[in-house]
Amino acid sequence: MVKLKDIGELKFIKRIEGLIPSFRNKDVVVSLGDDCAVVKDGKSLILLSSDMSIENVHFLSDVFPPSAIGWKSMASAWSDIAGMGGEPCWALVSWSLPEYMTVHKAEAIFQGMLKATEFVNGTIIGGDTTASNDNIIIDVTVIGKPVNDRYITRSGAKEGDIIAVTGTLGNSAAGLVALKQGLPECGLWRSHWYPIPRVEEGKWLCETGSVNAMIDISDGLIVDAGHIAEMSQVGIKIHKQDIPASEELTNFCEKYNLNIDDFTLGGGEEYQLLVSIPQEKWEQISTEFNALFPCSITAIGQVTHDRQDVRVDGTIPQIKGYEHFV
């Protein structure tokens, strides 16, 4: 019998997608394969997504403040709305908690969820609570709206587009390494504990009408660039020297003799935005973006027509990013 570990998360998802009937409901505008589903409600469009966080898979309770457990689980869900350029609205939170957990810790986790939701101007409107045998499990469903009926999918990248990324990459993954190894790198810890969903940045990019494809970076640059390549049926060429990394990450890697590529190429849970922008629009978009947002936007590559894969400096990278089951 084939086991999940034999095929990995991405191939398993493809198999599951194949089980879903192919008929199309007229009210479903965007279904499987994107950051959010898009559905019609009368004349309005709604963005829907869900995200699950599990103790010892997505967070380590022994090195996480309780508020960070809540913030991170909620921020990762809101980031899917950001990845489509949408406006966050409402969230449903279902969680399963061990019966021996203190009330104080459970409330602190929920306070973290509330803070992350307040940060994006959303509202928690309900959910469910159950007991678990051991691990904390948090399942968040988020609902958003497109701004002026615009949204950006993964499938619109075109040959010649500039591939660009907001902010810097690698801090969150480096923070996880520092936490696991007990390294005193508080800034990197915080990057992993409290990632920032780029909601305002995503909305602005969407409103320009000049972005062909977009995704939030949750599983690592290579994996998520691969999603754009697959959905758009294009190749993506990345220049490693152009990938933005913080001085803090650079110093961390030098101090502990670590390979920075592991973090910038493969590090997930960054929640920066990866975008595909027509070359002729790039200069204007980047200038205006960098004047508005302190996180900045940086060109790191181009869209090509010859392969549906991701190449870094002309070669297929060995660093793949995060994937469940493997």
Q: What does the block give as tokens for 311?
A: 């190449």
pLDDT at 176 over 70: yes
pLDDT of residue 325: 61
Q: Say which residues have a Cβ less than 8 Å from residue 294's Cβ, sequence separation at least 6.
A: none
* 159/302 Cα distance (integer angstroms): 8
- CATH superfamily of the 4-146 domain: PurM-like, N-terminal domain (3.30.1330.10)
Instruction: State mean pLDDT over 34-60.
Output: 93
Instruction: State mean pLDDT over 251-280.
Output: 97
pLDDT at 322 over 80: no
| pTM of this structure | 0.94
* 98/135 Cα distance (integer angstroms): 6
Instruction: State mean pLDDT over 208-232.
Output: 96
Its CATH class, for the domain covering 162-312, is: alpha beta
Q: Say which residues have a Cβ less than 8 Å from residue 47's Cβ, sequence separation at least 6.
A: 36, 37, 38, 81, 84, 86, 142, 143, 144, 145, 146, 151
Domain assignments of the chain as residue spans, ordered by start: 4-146, 162-312
As a whole number, the mean pLDDT across the chain is: 94
Residue 23 pLDDT class (50, 70, 90 cuts):
low
